[in-house]
Amino acid sequence: MYVIEVIRLSLYTLRANKLRAALTMFGISIGVGAVIALLAIGAGVQAYITQQFTSAGTNLVAVVPGQIQRGGGFGPQSPLSMSDYRAVAGSIPFLLDTAADFTGVGNFTYESLNSQVNVSGVTPSYQRVRNWRVRIGRFVDDSDYGGRSRVVVLGQTVANDLFPGQNPLDAVVKINNVPFRVIGVMEAKGASFLGDQDAVAFIPLTTAQERLFQASAQTRGGDRKVSTIYLQVTDDGARPIVVAAVKALLRERHRIAPDDPDDFSVVSQTDLINTFGAVTGVLTIFLGAIAAISLLVGGIGIMNIMLVSVTERTREIGLRKAVGATSRAILGQFLAEAMFLSLLGGVIGIGIGVGGAFAVSKVADIQPEVQAGAIVLAVGFSLAVGLFFGIYPARRASRLNPIDALRFE
């Protein structure tokens, strides 16, 4: 009964000062809403990054020239070659499939239209390994690869630039003034944090090395260069074994001394996801902590209002003590009022936070993930703020001398 009576008195007091209570709750609501919204957006960004990497293929390991250094840039490097690709594809265990590419810049022209995008010479397996799908036509096949055919598969952006509203199949475009026949158009992958994924075109790797980019695609030893070697691993557990085997094989092939650094990098999809996830996770926590500052500001507002309330109700407190109310009862009432302000502000803040997170999704291509843990954390923190900042006014009220309180004007 005591608890019910305290709650009833608290609600009565808050109703008597509706505007003041509403303004105080609004400060808490903004803080709770900001924390929930930022944590939801941060979780959505992490899911978006994971989806972007997964869309490029599953269980991928990529080998690129040069040693990627901390802070960006590359250390010592030598080009990867076709013989490196064949050695890796033929001797590394736990591989489902392999692919290679050589990328250069192509100037596309068709009639009076033009477009400049990256052209990737690829093996026929590239489509499977990188999880690309053809929308119309077909992809590069073994006969194109073996015959060094001048055929091209266009990304959606290139197709839209050169053939607006038209079917480009069998049309002849020029890439760096070399004619190529269009055999397919890829499905749209859309833009990502890596740029426009559809601003690309694919030709047979042999054609790129020997017909389109023959000067830049040749090593000093007369072999043909590749830009990236892609390895599709059987499962995530085999990934460390594959990475170690590739490093050992390429160090031996490139004749790297034991104390010298690699002149190549082996990067796994999982490593990239974990790295970006760690960065976005830290940023999310940082932004959430900044948003939590507004909760502290709201808590100060609660303390201010409660102190004013103690001053306004001094005679009431004295009268209650004179008729038998204990200091504990007075303390409990004022603490309950502060906690109610925090709780109601937190509940309203949940709606603000969820609504704000999904409002952001209408502007950015990110689907926020509102997590129950974030809601519990934000509301729990708001209650803690209400309790912390309500203690001092409540103690001050409970310690009033009833005789002095009754004399207060």
Strand partners, 107: 116
- In contact, 104 and 119? CB cutoff 8 Å: yes
DSSP string for residues in 245-260: HHHHHHHHHTT--TTS
Structure pTM? 0.65
121 phi and psi angles, rounded to 5 deg: -80, 125
Residues 6+ apart with CB under 8 A from 270: 236, 239
Distances (CA, A) of 22 to 202, 226, 344: 62, 66, 9
Report the C-alpha gap between 224 and 148 in whole angstroms.
14
Q: Each residue's pLDDT tens digit in the chain (409 positions)? A: 456 665 676 666 667 677 777 777 787 888 888 888 888 887 777 777 666 665 555 578 889 888 765 555 555 567 899 999 999 998 999 998 999 999 999 999 998 888 899 999 999 999 998 888 999 999 999 999 999 999 999 999 999 999 998 999 999 999 999 999 999 999 988 766 556 788 999 999 999 999 999 888 888 878 999 999 999 888 878 888 998 999 999 999 988 888 888 888 888 777 666 666 677 777 777 777 777 777 777 777 777 777 777 776 677 777 777 777 777 777 777 777 777 778 888 888 888 888 888 887 777 667 787 878 778 877 787 778 777 777 777 777 777 676 665 665 5
Report the C-alpha gap between 299 and 25 in whole angstroms.
10
What are the helix (H) ranges across 255-326? 269-312, 314-322
Tokens of 149: 């055919």
> What are the E-state strand segments in 80-216?
80-81, 95-110, 113-122, 134-137, 151-154, 172-175, 178-186, 191-192, 195-196, 200-204
Tokens of 407: 């004399």
Residue 266 identity (one-letter amino acid): V
Residues 6+ apart with CB under 8 A from 111: none
Tally of CB atoms within 10 A around 105: 11
Among 271, 256, 349, smallest CA distance to 68 is for 271
Residue 128 identity (one-letter amino acid): R
Report the C-alpha gap between 28 and 350 in whole angstroms.
11
Report the C-alpha gap between 96 and 231 in whole angstroms.
8
- In contact, 42 and 284? CB cutoff 8 Å: yes
- In contact, 154 and 201? CB cutoff 8 Å: yes
Task: Please give the torsion angle defined by the CA atoms of residues 278, 282, 284 and 288, in that order, rounded to the nearest 10 degrees.
Answer: 150
